[in-house]
Amino acid sequence: MVGEAPAKLPTNFVEAIGLSPEQAARFELFLFAPGSISDANVTGYQTRLVDTGLSLEQTRRVGFKISKTQIRYYNAGDAALAQSLASELDIVARDFTANGGDGGRIEIWMQGDAGASAPARTTQRTTTTRRTTRPTVDTRTRLTNSIIQQLQSN
């Protein structure tokens, strides 16, 4: 009607697909990126994932090639959310339910080579409070990845 305020518009992906904060809290995102992807590109992807309204639990560098950026889900109950998120990010969703897995775990694997142009590292739990917290580096995982990369290059 004329003169009425518009309905609240979704401000993020979670609201756009109709998830309540309680429903969204059951999902955890994990980001994996090969060493050839720059820190700036990984940080940009982290920001985009945090902006979805879902919890980005961890970012990990991997020392192998990923041929295509993808979302992996391991529980049939997560298929709809994973496919919607894949569509939002313009990437493919892959069904890994045959491997079994915990409900709520959604993994994003970034396309890239195993190259070591960026240092191996892992960041832990990025909160969904937009851009107010920076991921922290897990020292033990960073050291482990560094040793693995050195062994692979020998």
Determine the pLDDT at residue 118. Answer: 43
Domains of the chain: 13-153 (3.30.70.2390)
Looking at the DSSP bridge assignments, the partners of residue 29 are: 56, 106
Name 56's Cβ contacts closer than 8 Å, sequence gap at least 6.
29, 30, 31, 46, 49, 50, 125, 126, 128, 135
Q: Which residue do the tokens 């090969």 mark?
A: 34
CA distance 40 to 55: 20
> Token digits for 49?
């994932």
User: Cα–Cα distances in Å, from 5 out to 2, 8, 9, 135?
Assistant: 9, 9, 11, 38
By three-state DSSP, how is residue 135 classified? coil
- Residue by residue, pLDDT tens for the chain (154 residues) are 444 544 554 568 898 888 888 899 999 999 999 999 999 999 998 998 988 899 999 999 999 999 999 999 999 999 999 999 999 889 999 999 998 888 999 999 999 998 764 444 444 444 444 433 444 445 555 666 666 666 766 5
Determine the pLDDT at residue 128. Answer: 44
Name 4's Cβ contacts closer than 8 Å, sequence gap at least 6.
none
**Exposed/middle/buried for 31, CB within 10 Å: 0-12, 13-18, 19+?**
buried
